[in-house]
């Protein structure tokens, strides 16, 4: 009886043969205490990924919540500035301006500290009646 052999073609990716590895039991005992380091590395990766996802999701929500929380503060600040500007205007710190137009191109401005004097000057120039008002931002 002849023996039948099975043959395989061995193709090596690396030009050398890998060494047989054996684990020393002493190394296993020493490495058992270092399981915390592996847990630390994995936990750091997980916390980093979760933190990044939470940051991307929560950042717009935090911005909206902060905008809602600061809205009363901003409105209060705008109202306070408006009241201070009105007080400064009516106490004469910011003068009232009377725009006098002498034609299409000729304009001059007169400044009055008090509103009633500015209104009186406008009525004098217009011949009485309700004074006209021009609104400008600057």
pLDDT in tens, 107-136: 788 888 888 888 888 888 888 778 888 777
Expressed as residue numbers, the domain containing 60 is 33-91
Number of domains composing the chain: 2
Cβ atoms 96, 89 nearer than 8 A: yes
Of 125, 101, 136, 102, the C-alpha closest to 117 is: 125
8 assigned to some structural domain: no
Select, from the ranges 35-39, 83-87, 100-104, the one with the highest average predicted confidence (pLDDT).
83-87
Same domain, residue pair 76 and 101: no
Look over the chain and give the mean of its residue pLDDT values, rounded to a whole number: 78
Q: Which pLDDT value is given to residue 128?
A: 79
How sure is the predictor about 33, in pLDDT bands with cuts at 50, 70 and 90? Answer: low
10 assigned to some structural domain: no
Q: Is the pTM of this model over 0.75?
A: no
Of 95, 90, 104, 97, the C-alpha closest to 122 is: 97
């Amino acid at each position: 009886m002849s023996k039948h052999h099975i043959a395989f073609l061995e193709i090596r990716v690396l030009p050398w043969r890998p060494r047989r590895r054996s684990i020393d039991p002493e190394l296993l005992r020493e490495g058992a205490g270092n399981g915390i380091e592996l847990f630390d590395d994995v936990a750091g990766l997980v916390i980093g990924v979760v933190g990044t996802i939470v940051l991307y999701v929560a950042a717009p929500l935090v911005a909206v919540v902060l905008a809602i929380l600061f809205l009363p503060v901003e409105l209060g600040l705008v109202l306070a500035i408006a009241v201070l500007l009105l007080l400064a205007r009516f106490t004469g710190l910011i003068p009232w301006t009377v725009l006098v137009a002498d034609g299409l191109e000729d304009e001059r401005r007169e400044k009055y500290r008090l509103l009633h004097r500015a209104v009186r000057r406008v009525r004098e120039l217009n011949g009485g009646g309700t004074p006209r008002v021009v609104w400008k931002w600057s």
